[in-house]
Amino acid sequence: MAPRVKICGLSKPAHVEAVSRSGAAYAGFVFFPKSPRNVTIAQARELALMVPLGVAKVALVVNATDAELDAITAQVPLDMLQLHGKETPERVAEIRARYGLPVMKALGVAEPSDLEAIPAYEAVADQILVDAKAPKGAALPGGNGLSFDWTLIAGRKWSKPWMLAGGLTPENVALAIARTGANQLDVSSGVESAPGVKEASLIKDFVAAAGAA
Ligand SMILES: O=C(O)c1ccccc1N[C@@H]1O[C@H](COP(=O)(O)O)[C@@H](O)[C@H]1O
């Protein structure tokens, strides 16, 4: 089966159109004011309503409060929540129960010991997102266009579906799949010409390269 691709950080109707044409499986909207990809709830609602059936709509949040999640989930039609902050396993379970949506928990990896956190989240999340750990002092906990040493997860098996993220591009996605065995990929910076500026041709190239791998 072709790998499933998530294109994250959509903020314009043209981005959604490009994702819809590309064959990507997931469309991601970032709710994090420091991000160049941040969208308001009203923007996200308008964009989410354009996403065709069969493409899962994902809200990316960072240490969101219940009030923030209440507002997002009440107004934006969603298929999944992506938790990209320091949410504990207990908070992941609480969010999953409160909103009745599948939850994907992002975990940053830079060295072997970072993988030790995964089992606790496997028990409570619907999916795990294995991302590069953000450098100390970075403004963003993800979306930095940085990859990690993929050999750290070569041959790893988890009990829940998982996605690979971090510094993926149309040029390196085939190698990333070969090294890690990932069958789901998440990309943001690698399909942009500048922070937050998605390029239709790069989205198309990324999905094609993943599918050909
Ligand atoms: O994309 C963002 O701006 C962002 C902000 C805050 C947390 C996560 C963010 N993006 C996620 O980070 C990874 C890797 O992105 P990249 O391809 O290296 O740019 C991916 O899961 C994005 O969804």
pLDDT in tens, 103-119: 999 999 999 999 999 99
What pLDDT was estimated at residue 31? 98
Residue 1 has pLDDT above 90, yes or no: no
Question: What mean pLDDT is predicted for residues 121-144?
Answer: 95
With a 6 Å cutoff on the Cβ, whether 167 touches ligand 1 is: yes
| Positive or negative torsion for Cα 196, 38, 88, 80 | negative
| The CATH fold of domain 4-212 | TIM Barrel (3.20.20)
Spatial CA neighbour of 24 closest among 42, 39, 10: 10
Q: How far apart are CA 141 and CA 108, in angstroms?
A: 9
Q: How far apart are CA 211 and CA 43, in angstroms?
A: 30
Ligand 1 center–CA 74 separation, angstroms: 24
Residue 132 has pLDDT above 90, yes or no: yes
| Nearest atom (ligand 1) to Cα of 146 | 18
Name the H helices within the chain.
Answer: 13-22, 41-50, 66-75, 89-99, 118-122, 173-180, 200-212
Query: Ligand 1 pocket: which of 15, 131, 148 to mutate (most atoms <8 Å of CB)?
Result: 131
Q: What's phi and psi for 24, nearest 5 deg?
A: -65, 155
What pLDDT was estimated at residue 155? 86
| Nearest atom (ligand 1) to Cα of 190 | 17
Query: Quick one: tokens of 136?
Result: 């100390």
pLDDT in tens, 20-56: 999 999 999 999 999 999 999 999 999 999 999 999 9
SS3 118: helix
pLDDT in tens, 80-98: 999 999 999 999 999 999 9
3-state percent breakdown (helix, strand, coil) of the chain, nearest 5: 40, 20, 40
Question: What mean pLDDT is predicted for residues 198-208?
Answer: 98
Ligand 1 center–CA 110 separation, angstroms: 15
What pLDDT was estimated at residue 113? 96
pLDDT in tens, 137-178: 999 999 999 999 999 999 898 999 999 999 999 999 999 999
For residue 141, what are the CA distances in angstroms to 63, 99, 108, 113? 11, 23, 9, 18
Residue with tokens 């959604």: 16
pLDDT in tens, 190-201: 999 999 999 999
Mean pLDDT of the chain: 97
Query: Ligand 1 pocket: which of 84, 127, 146, 164 to mutate (most atoms <8 Å of CB)?
Result: 84
> How is the chain split into domains, by residue range?
4-212
- Active site (catalytic) residues: 8, 131
pTM value is 0.96
Contacts of 24 (CB under 8 A, 6+ apart): 5, 6, 7, 55, 203, 207
Question: What mean pLDDT is predicted for residues 15-21?
Answer: 97
